[in-house]
Structures are given as structure tokens and as C-alpha cells.
């Protein structure tokens, strides 16, 4: 109506703006929220009785078993055993993979003579080889180291061969024109060019060696996280089994992150 004044509408309350870094990387917020939602749903399903605790324990029970194992030092003692086996197997697999891979890449007739046998060994299920290795090396750490080495060896072998054969031919031609020896060509051109492939093999091997150590402990062991899983499963202590699996997952992520961090430092020139 004429002469009637209208009050300004109240502005809608504004939510606080997200930080710029969070808007650029929303997965930093969405990933924890998705995990929290899954855990809450998991807890509710188990506590409601829809799933037996002997099939799938509640997250709260798993966290309690994890805290107990960490506080008592049980996981630390057995974890160090598994880590030492996996680390030794990793070192052996890396050394053997680099050496044999370089020989196969440089001496072509070795590929036809040796490579088929290596592939045949790789295709054998390692869980079938583990009992035989226990018979050969006993229940001590050597059998677990052997399983870890065999599992982690092939990724190192394949990536080393692929990397050495992917060398920039122009660099080799320049070095040869300057009179460089085959060994000098290998050190100056082939090996640096193969490093991206080799680090990819390292990232795979560092995970596989943990798997190998655990498989060896499943077959026969007196210590280690795999041994703990077998013992907890025999006692139907399913929360402890899940807690150990969580510890193994954390170790695997840290090992993988360590390899990636080393890659970024060594291959600072590689944008990939």
C-alpha cells in the first residue's frame, strides 16, 4: 500500500567458507567422513545382532584388541620378527632381481635360456611352495625369508629388464660415438633411465615381501604376526585377528610411503 514501508528481508545465515586448500582437495574431508560412516554402520549392524561377532566383530572390539596388543607389547615383539623377515627377503629379492634382470637385459641369449624357467617358478602358487621351504629351512626365520624373497623377486626382475631396455637410444649413440665402453654406457645411460621402472618394482616388492613373510608364518612358525593370526584364529579371538590385520595394513602403507618418498628424492627430475 502507498506509504507503507517494507522491512528488508533478513539475510540467510551463511555457513563458514571452507579453506582454500580443502576446496582444492575435497578428498581430505570426504575420505574421513566416508570411513566414519562405514564404521558407524558396521558398529550398528554388529550390535543389532544382524551379523555374528564371530564372523565380523564390532569396530569397538577391534580397537580394544588393538589397544591391548599394543600396550602389552605383544604386537611389537611379533611385529619386529615379521619386519626383520620381510626386510631381509626384500633386500635379497632386490639384489637378485637387479643382478639377474641386468644380465638378461644385456645378454640376450640368457632371456631365451633362463627367463622361461623364472616365469614357471613365478606361476607356481607360493602357498604350495611354503611347506617345502619349511622342510628345507626349518621353522626358523630362513623359511619365511625364502618365501618373501621368491614372491618379491619377480616384480623386481621384470621392471629391471623393462627399464634397461627402455633406454633412450640417442644417449647411447652419443656415448658410443665418444668412445664409451659398454660398462660406461650402462652406468651413465641405461641404469639412470631404468630407475623409474626399478622404483615401480620396489613399490610392488615391498608389499609382496610382507605377504611372503606372513604366508611363511602361516605354514609354520613360533613367532611373528602371521603366527599370532593363526593362534588367535584357533582361539576364536576374531577381534585380535582383525587388529593384527590392521597393524599389517599400517606397516604396508608406511613401507610403500617410504619407497615413494625415496623415489621423489632420487628421481627429482622425473615429473611422473
Q: Identify the DSSP state of 14.
A: P
Q: What is the mean pLDDT of residues 67-75?
A: 91
In this structure, what C-alpha cell is assigned to residue 198? 626399478
Give the sign of the dihedral formed by CA 165, CA 166, CA 167, CA 169: positive
pLDDT at 90: 94
The predicted-structure confidence for 185-214, as pLDDT tens digits, reads as follows 777 777 888 888 899 999 999 999 998 899
SS3 content of the chain, % helix, strand, coil (to 5): 80, 0, 20
* Rounded-to-integer distance, Cα 178 and Cα 269, Å: 25
- Rounded to a whole number of angstroms, the distance between the first and last alpha carbons of the chain is 69
pLDDT at 205: 93
* Rounded-to-integer distance, Cα 209 and Cα 93, Å: 9
* Rounded-to-integer distance, Cα 242 and Cα 64, Å: 11
Kindly report which listed range (3-17, 77-91, 121-135) carries the lowest average pLDDT score: 3-17
- pLDDT-based confidence at 3, cuts 50/70/90? low
Q: What is the mean pLDDT of residues 66-88?
A: 92
Q: Identify the DSSP state of 48.
A: T
Q: Identify the DSSP state of 167.
A: -
* Rounded-to-integer distance, Cα 224 and Cα 14, Å: 55
pLDDT at 119: 79
pLDDT at 89: 93
pLDDT at 17: 63
In this predicted structure, the answer to whether residue 92 has a pLDDT above a threshold of 60 is yes
Give the Cβ contact number of residue 222 at 10 Å: 10
- pLDDT-based confidence at 245, cuts 50/70/90? very high
In this predicted structure, the answer to whether residue 123 has a pLDDT above a threshold of 70 is yes
* Rounded-to-integer distance, Cα 233 and Cα 222, Å: 15
Q: What is the mean pLDDT of residues 36-48?
A: 86
In this predicted structure, the answer to whether residue 259 has a pLDDT above a threshold of 60 is yes
* Rounded-to-integer distance, Cα 29 and Cα 11, Å: 28
Percent of the chain's residues with pLDDT above 90 = 29
| CB neighbour list of residue 97: distance below 8 Å, 6 or more residues apart | 152, 153, 154, 155, 156, 157, 159, 160, 201, 205
pLDDT at 240: 92
| CATH number of this structure's domain 60-266 | 1.10.3720.10
Kindly report which listed range (112-126, 131-145, 168-182, 246-260) carries the lowest average pLDDT score: 168-182
- pLDDT-based confidence at 178, cuts 50/70/90? confident
Kindly report which listed range (102-116, 142-156, 229-243) carries the lowest average pLDDT score: 102-116
pTM: 0.80
- pLDDT-based confidence at 44, cuts 50/70/90? confident
Whether the CB-CB separation of 154 and 122 falls below 8 Å is answered with: yes
* Rounded-to-integer distance, Cα 63 and Cα 57, Å: 10
pLDDT at 91: 95
Report the chain's mean pLDDT, rounded to a whole number: 83
* Rounded-to-integer distance, Cα 214 and Cα 85, Å: 9
Q: Identify the DSSP state of 190.
A: I
In this structure, what C-alpha cell is assigned to residue 210? 610382507
Phi/psi for 18 (5° steps) reads -75, 150
Q: Nearest-5° angle of CA 132, CA 128, CA 249?
A: 110
Q: What is the mean pLDDT of residues 130-152?
A: 85
Q: Would you kindly state where each structural domain of the chain is located, as residue ranges?
A: 60-266
Amino acid at each position: 500500500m502507498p506509504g507503507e514501508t517494507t522491512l528488508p528481508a533478513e539475510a540467510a545465515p551463511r555457513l563458514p567458507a571452507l579453506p582454500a586448500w580443502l576446496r582444492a582437495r575435497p578428498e581430505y574431508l570426504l575420505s574421513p567422513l566416508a570411513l566414519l560412516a562405514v564404521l558407524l554402520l558396521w558398529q550398528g549392524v554388529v550390535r543389532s545382532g544382524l551379523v555374528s561377532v564371530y564372523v565380523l566383530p564390532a569396530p569397538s572390539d577391534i580397537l580394544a584388541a588393538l589397544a591391548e596388543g599394543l600396550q602389552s607389547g605383544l604386537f611389537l615383539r611379533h611385529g619386529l620378527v615379521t619386519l626383520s623377515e620381510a626386510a631381509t627377503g626384500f633386500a635379497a629379492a632386490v639384489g637378485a632381481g637387479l643382478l639377474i634382470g641386468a644380465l638378461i637385459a644385456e645378454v640376450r641369449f640368457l632371456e631365451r635360456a633362463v627367463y622361461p624357467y623364472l616365469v614357471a617358478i613365478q606361476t607356481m602358487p607360493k602357498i604350495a611352495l611354503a611347506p617345502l621351504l619349511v622342510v628345507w629351512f626349518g621353522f626358523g626365520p630362513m623359511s619365511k625369508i625364502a618365501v618373501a624373497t621368491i614372491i618379491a623377486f619377480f616384480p623386481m626382475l621384470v621392471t629391471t629388464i623393462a627399464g634397461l631396455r627402455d633406454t633412450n637410444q640417442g644417449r647411447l649413440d652419443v656415448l658410443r660415438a665418444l668412445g664409451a665402453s659398454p660398462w660406461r654406457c650402462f652406468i651413465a645411460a641405461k641404469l639412470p633411465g631404468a630407475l623409474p621402472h626399478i622404483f615401480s618394482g620396489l613399490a610392488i616388492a615391498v608389499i609382496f615381501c610382507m605377504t611372503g613373510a606372513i604366508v611363511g608364518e602361516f605354514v609354520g612358525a613360533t613367532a611373528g604376526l602371521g603366527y599370532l593370526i593363526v593362534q588367535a584364529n584357533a582361539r576364536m579371538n576374531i577381534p585380535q585377528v582383525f587388529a593384527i590385520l590392521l597393524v599389517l595394513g599400517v606397516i604396508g602403507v608406511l613401507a610403500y610411503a617410504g619407497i615413494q618418498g625415496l623415489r621423489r628424492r632420487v628421481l627429482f627430475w622425473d615429473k611422473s
